[in-house]
Amino acid sequence: MAYANVDGLRIGYDLIGDGERTWVLTPGGRFPKETPGLPELARALAADGNRVLLWDRPNSGGSDLRFTGPSEPRMQADTLAALLTELDLGPAVLAGATVGSHISLLTAAHHPEVVSGLSLWWISGGVMGLMILANVYYTPAITAAWTTGMDAVAALPDWAPLLDRNERNRRQVLDQDRDAFLATMQRWMAAYCPRPGEQVPGLPDELARAITVPALVFRGGASDPFHPRATSEALAGLLPNARLVEPPWGDREYLDRQAERESAGGLFVRWPLLAPALRDWAREALG
């Protein structure tokens, strides 16, 4: 793993392949770039003469923590734009899923100079999907800080691995002012609240309409309440140059991967199935 210094942060990344077109893969959760399925998809894309950036977002993997910005995805989008600039890799095709799709869209909206295209799947949305995300990401940290203190935050399952990999992160959490931390977590949690005129949190529909790069949007599953079909279809309708396509798996893909994540290798293990559609679209839409 290599590291880049970006806006005072140490960001871990891997660069696979040496082609002219750059892809960036961004998952959701706090999954690191080594999560099964991500490197395999990167290698499948690189085999077609591309270079692929895998990166650990701030607050994930081996990268530093950062507790700034109106929302965590917006902070990570700003970091991605700075990383692409620092590494001289833009403009790039941003490929993302779950909250990674939000990060990719926010990067395109606020930093269009580093983006040449978008590929999006498992797009988080809907009232239940967004409220569950807010709860998963922030409720444990808020509860631990409020009722016990920052030592309890450092011991949480979501945070402890990040601190074990990076001693700077441990010091930052333990030295964090509790009230300032609570204010950030609650601001970030509130950013996920569904709002009229926003298919994606923090991205007003009028701003989505201004994203003019080619986009490939994979339709969500009708059975998936976390990444609703309606969200994927509405987003494809907002993006001026989007193509809405069927994914290379069945309607219950996310639910099945979630149910089998311990026995079958994790949520992302079948993502390499996306590679042929991604490569074909890029050749046609991006030249």
Query: Which residue's entry shows tokens 């808020």?
Result: 142
Q: Mean per-residue pLDDT for 127-142?
A: 96
Q: Mean per-residue pLDDT for 4-29?
A: 95
pLDDT tens across 262-274, in order?
A: 667 789 999 999 9
Token reading at 121? 């799947």
Q: Mean per-residue pLDDT for 91-115?
A: 98
Token reading at 141? 């940290």
pLDDT of residue 139: 97
pLDDT of residue 261: 74
Cβ count within 10 A of residue 49: 12
Domain locations along the chain: 2-126+196-286, 138-189
Superfamily of domain 2-126+196-286: Alpha/Beta hydrolase fold, catalytic domain (3.40.50.1820)
pLDDT of residue 41: 98
- Indicate whether 230 pLDDT > 80: yes
Q: Mean per-residue pLDDT for 271-278?
A: 98
Average pLDDT over the chain, rounded to whole? 95
Dmax (CA) for the chain in angstroms is 55
pLDDT tens across 241-255, in order?
A: 999 999 999 999 999
Cβ atoms of 242 and 218 within 8 Å: the answer is no
pLDDT of residue 125: 96
Total-model pTM:
0.96
Residue 1: pLDDT band with limits 50, 70, 90: confident
pLDDT of residue 265: 77
pLDDT tens across 66-96, in order?
A: 999 999 999 999 999 999 999 999 899 999 9
